[in-house]
Amino acid sequence: QKEVEQNSGPLSVPEGAIASLNCTYSDRGSQSFFWYRQYSGKSPELIMSIYSNGDKEDGRFTAQLNKASQYVSLLIRDSQPSDSATYLCAVNMGAGAGNTPLVFGKGTRLSVIA
């Protein structure tokens, strides 16, 4: 069974703080990793992708990947109330570069308090 696990939250952080979201996955052969943001009543929106071990930064967002630990994280610096949403971790659990489907975690609900 291919699984992606996330803490459901809610995770509450004050405005301006760093929010840290975590995700573990079951398939050691996974190649591609994504973070999606989903506002209430809206569709998931891709915000970060990461394919290699280490950190990848994009504006206030940093994705971190540790394949040996099967662990992915997303850091949001200078959190804003507009960052309040559910964050979904998604993992491509197929070997190779083929377009096998993403497996999604159930998401972590983030609340940024002004």
Partner 1 sequence: DAGVIQSPRHEVTEMGQEVTLRCKPISGHNSLFWYRQTMMRGLELLIYFNNNVPIDDSGMPEDRFSAKMPNASFSTLKIQPSEPRDSAVYFCASSLAGGYGYTFGSGTRLTVV
Instruction: For residue 77, state whether it binds partner 1 (rule: CB under 8 A).
Output: no
Cis bond before residue 14 (omega within 30° of 0): no
Member of 24, 73, 92, 108 binding partner 1 (CB under 8 A): 92
List the interface residues with partner 1, window 22-41 (CB under 8 A). 31-32, 34, 36
CB of 77 or CB of 106, closer to partner 1: 106
Member of 63, 88, 110, 112 binding partner 1 (CB under 8 A): 88
- Those residues whose C-beta lies under 8 Å from the C-beta of residue 67, and which sit 6 or more positions away, are 28, 30, 53
Tell me the two tokens of residue 16: 């301006």
d(Cα 19, Cα 80) in Å, to the nearest integer? 10
Per CB under 8 A, residues contacting partner 1 are 31-32, 34, 36, 42-46, 49, 51, 88, 90, 92, 97-99, 101-107
